[in-house]
Structure 1
Amino acid sequence: MSPQTLGILVTLALLCAAGAVLLGIGLVRGARQRERLVERVAPLLIDAGDVGSDDRSRLLERMAKGGRAIEGWVDPDNESARLMSQAGWRSTEARVAWYAFQGLIPLAGVLVVAAYWWLGDDPKKSLYLPLLGFVAFALSVLIPRWVLRQAAARRQARVKAEVPLFVHLLVLLFDAGLSTRQALSSMVREGGGVLPELGHEFAILLRSLDAGADTGEVLKNLADLLQVDDLGNILAVLRQVDRFGGEVREPLLEALAVMEQNRSLELREEVNLMSGRMTVVMVLFFFPALLIFVAGPAFLSVIKALNDVAG
């Protein structure tokens, strides 16, 4: 395979992968925006009829079916459903966009393999084709899982960052005499701007409570779903108070103190890692320049003196 052909294939592969990733991100963002729009103007949409009956919607539906079939094959344990919930992709539009993205990646891999078969002028391309097909197949399986895990991890980090403020607000609301359900309802109603991620989760939780679910069970399911340790500790305190009663302010403050101590340790660890990285950068770049600046004139003088003695 010539270098020119290899460059063309690598460029096509990168363009296909970048296009698939950008299309997936655009589909998910568009689905979330459409979900918010539907929540605001739902009566108008109901009167207008079905808005997803055009060719674009049918194409998206076919791609979503292909992605759903791929997920059923590569994910028998249904991990994607948990990751999508952790990423906040609970709406039908977001899930359809994700399945369409998962079905688009193998199509991009097929296009890359076909381009290699048609454009490659290497006589041994029949030997490289199975390897390229295996690489395209592996990437088509791994890239969607990586994107979904990264989205879930980023949202878990945002949820973790909101937990301290959530505890402070919870303590204030309990001091005002509100119950657990009333405190959560107040935060959903008035604290959506400062707690966007937790406010969305608690809105779903309150709908489950209004449907008759048990408070302790719903809190446990939320902690198991999000898998954020700090939030899980706080929800465990709320479950215990809801089941056995007792003082709630002191356990919450103690959990908050432990949380802040852990965050302080994490910050110290990050500072230590950063200092080590800066030491490596200084040794590789700053120290050689300093050595040349300090020892360079003396070294040149020694070389000149030796040349004078030899000459």
Structure 2
Amino acid sequence: MSAQMLPLLVAGAFFLGVMGLGLLAVLLVRGNRERRIRDRLTSDSTAPPDAPREAGGLLSGLADSGRSIEHLVDTDNETPRLLVQAGWRGARQHTYYYLAQLLAPILGALLVAIAWLFAGADASGVNYLMYLVVAIIIGLLAPRFFLRKRASARRDRIAAEVPLFIHLLVLLFEAGLSTRQALATLVREGRGTLPELNREFAVVTRQLDAGADAAEVLHNLERALEVSELSNILSVLRQVDRYGGEVRQPLLEALQVLEDQRAMAMREKVNALSGRMTVVMVLFFFPALLIFVAGPAFASIIKALGNVAG
């Protein structure tokens, strides 16, 4: 690094740091304003106006700043749905996620700055400036990538629990229980059997106990989770709850369709695995087998030709 470029790079780094601090301050002020408005709308009217702030006020303000950054990345408002699909419904979990969204790019920028400071005079400031931009971008996208992976894994676990869920529903309906009673029984007794669905239907039963419409609650759950295997069952439950009728046969038909789809998917996986095994056999086993079978004959032919030539 030349001596003429060092002041320019230091000035550029200082400018970027000041801009980052300014942006962070703006986001903090905006997040605190939104949080005060939300607290004013949801707080108890009997509380004194000068009540002390809760201990997590700073974390809440930082989380609101992270939420503002998330709005810049998430233009389709997909994050709330992904949080539900990942099983993070609580306010504390939301706070931690938005804190990660705020701190991840800052941590990435700090790591690059520390690496540049300890790299010595031979380090190229232009390259580290590019690394800084890349670290900030990765820090912005990493929490959403982790959230997507967790939501996808949990949707797969929910889909795996659907067949057993159908069997239990059929048994409960045959015992004479209604839809609400069956769901309440599954929540109360199926914690170890259906861990993921138990958490979701625990929320559903609380909403039903509060007086919500069953069809609307089940529709909201179907739209939030986006698990096709479960969506068919929730549609059947909504129709039965609203219009009545036989529920056992539609559930068994949905179960048969689900098992057929899983059997077809398994056959596709087996076919793909067979193709990969064929490639492995051609590349590794077939040459070894050819050497083992044709090797002695080929060696004999070479020996015979050598004797004739001698």
TM-score, normalising length: structure 2: 0.75
Who is 1:205 aligned against?
204
Matched, 1:103 2:130: no
The offset of 1:113, in angstroms, is 2.0
Per the TM alignment, residue 143 of structure 1 is displaced from its structure 2 partner at its CA by: 1.9
Question: Equivalent residues in 2 for 1:129-278 (5 A)?
Answer: 129-278=128-277
Q: Shift of residue 302 of structure 1? A: 5.1
- The 5 Å alignment of 1:7-156 reads 53=55, 64-120=63-119, 125-156=124-155
Change (3 A) 1:290 1:169: same
The number of residue pairs the alignment matches comes to 258
Alignment partners' CA distance in 1, 2:97 and 2:295: 60
The alpha carbon displacement at 1:243 in A equals: 1.3
- 1:193, distance to aligned residue in structure 2 (A): 1.2
Which residue pairs with 1:43 in the alignment? none
CA contact (8 A) 2:214 2:238 kept: yes
Identity %: 58
Question: RMSD of the TM alignment (CA)?
Answer: 2.6
Query: SS of the residue aligned with 1:206?
Result: helix
Give the superposition deviation at 1:109. 1.7
Letter in 2 for 1:205: V
Gapped regions of structure 1 (runs ≥ 5): 2-51
Q: 1:197 deviation in Å?
A: 0.9
CA shift in 2, pair 1:202/1:295, >3 Å: same
Higher relative contact order (CA 8 A, sep 6+): 1
How far apart are residue 176 of structure 1 and its match?
A: 1.0
Give the gaps of 5 or more residues in structure 2: 2-53
Amino acid paired to 1:181 = R
Equivalent residues of 2:113, 2:132 under 8 A apart: no
Query: Which string of whole-angstrom CA distances, capped at 9 and with x for unpartnered residues, describes residues 39-96 of structure 1?
Result: xxxxxxxxxxxxx94xxx7886576455333212211332111101001011122222
The question of whether the paired residues in 2 share the 8 Å contact of 1:63 and 1:104 is answered with: no
For 1:285, the equivalent position in structure 2 comes to 284
How far did 1:208 drift? Answer: 0.9
Residue aligning to 1:28: none
Greater displacement, 289-298 / 173-182: 289-298
Letter in 2 for 1:82: R
Q: TM-score, structure 1 length as denominator?
A: 0.74
